[in-house]
Amino acid sequence: MMDLHSKYPAISDLKAKARKRIPHFVWEYLDSATGLEATLHRNQAKMRDVLFKTSILHGEFTPDLTTQFLGRDYPLPFGIAPVGMSGLIWPGAEKSLAKAAVSLGIPYTISTVSTQLPEDMAPYIGDQGWFQLYPPRDPEIRADILTRAKAAGFHTLVMTVDVPVASRRERQTRGGLQQPPRLTPRLAMQAAVCPVWLNGIRQTGMPRMKLMDGYATDMKGSLPSTEHIGYLLRTSPDWSYVERLRNEWDGALIIKGVTNPEDAEALEKEGVDALWVTNHAGRQFDGSISTIEALPGVRGATKLPLIFDSGIEGGLDIMRALALGADFVMLGRAWHYALGAVGEKGPAHLADMLRRDMEANMGQIGTKTLADLKARVVPTHS
């Protein structure tokens, strides 16, 4: 792996390489946010404001990065977040990432709007499968999806609640992607200069949202890229929806999209198992506080385990999130940068890069375990 560390020592290096190998219209789908993208940049900027107190004379040690989350042991405190249309970003991405997750012993979360069916993923997810649900309006569809996910081996359900309506994502719209995806002459020209991506798509076929397509067989025509077929089937959930879902799913239930402490307190009373603190990486609303700013308030409002995402650019950022109250961290785009840059070897390289970064920084501040990070963070005053 050392050759990859020399060539791609940071996520930014993987991102730069992936941008050259992924067609522009797909890149705009993956990398864009909404509005002026202020929230996306705020996520990153506010992360850098979280500082640590250094400490010396601790002798030689290797930091322990193992953790436990929802009763399961993990060798690393991070996993793979859901990304819609993952197989469009890089051909075969869902299966590649699931296999990498099993090899690494970390969670892999597939999206409702992935390009693979739950049952297609059964041979690949091992015991690491999480299923992300965009809440269907029809209770029969919901019940069927839950049954299929459970039968395929997904043991943890993640309901996303911060996408009540389609966001505008102006940059993505300008990129020209349509739903379902198709190569117009303009987009075909962009694909032609990315031969590895194009050859992969020729082998897999043009990706579609297979699960949603199966429930919308009578719906025809194309939609804007921000209003895909899933929006015709799903609803904006309310509190009663959470209650029904809790009764229908007998595994771990995580609610994704929490930034308000009052919501966190209420969700704990609903009996959910964990909360996912995120502003959807700035892809839904451009007037949000950063996720790292929201994290301490949510932590103070609930005893539930917390997942964190948005704004992660390296191992140091994972440490920052853990220090401010997260129990686990998820990354989405970064895994796709790794696939786009390096292919099948990319996810393992990214994980090793993050591990090394965390070990180096924890050694610098004298923290031997993840639990020690809280004592090293510099208090902030709002």
Over residues 343-377, the pLDDT tens digits come to 999 999 999 999 999 999 999 999 999 999 999 99
Collect all residues with Cβ–Cβ distance below 8 Å to 236 and sequence separation of at least 6: 164, 165
Return mean pLDDT, the chain.
93
Between residues 178 and 72, which one has the greater pLDDT? 72
Q: Provide the residue type at 154 as one letter.
A: F
Cβ-based neighbour number of residue 138 at 10 Å: 12
> CA 50 to CA 40: how far, in whole Å?
17
What residues form DSSP beta bridges with 307?
276, 328
Over residues 259-290, the pLDDT tens digits come to 999 999 999 999 999 999 999 998 989 999 99
Tell me what pLDDT residue 173 has.
86
> CA 68 to CA 59: how far, in whole Å?
26
309 closest CA partner among 327, 287, 286: 327
Q: Per-residue pLDDT for 144 more than 90?
A: yes
Told to judge if 280 belongs to the known catalytic residues of this protein, a careful annotator would answer: yes
Over residues 45-78, the pLDDT tens digits come to 999 999 999 999 999 999 999 999 999 999 999 9
Q: Provide the residue type at 204 as one letter.
A: T
Over residues 233-243, the pLDDT tens digits come to 888 899 999 99
Residue 1 banded pLDDT, cuts 50, 70, 90 = very low
Over residues 291-320, the pLDDT tens digits come to 999 999 999 999 999 999 999 999 999 999
Residue 226 banded pLDDT, cuts 50, 70, 90 = low
Tell me what pLDDT residue 168 has.
82
Residue 87 banded pLDDT, cuts 50, 70, 90 = very high
Q: Per-residue pLDDT for 338 more than 60?
A: yes
pTM of the predicted protein model: 0.94
119 closest CA partner among 148, 144, 159: 148
β-strand pairing of 78-80 with 274-277: unpaired
Q: Per-residue pLDDT for 167 more than 90?
A: no
Options 280, 336, 349, 381, the catalytic residue: 280
Over residues 91-140, the pLDDT tens digits come to 999 999 999 999 999 999 999 999 999 999 999 999 999 999 999 999 99
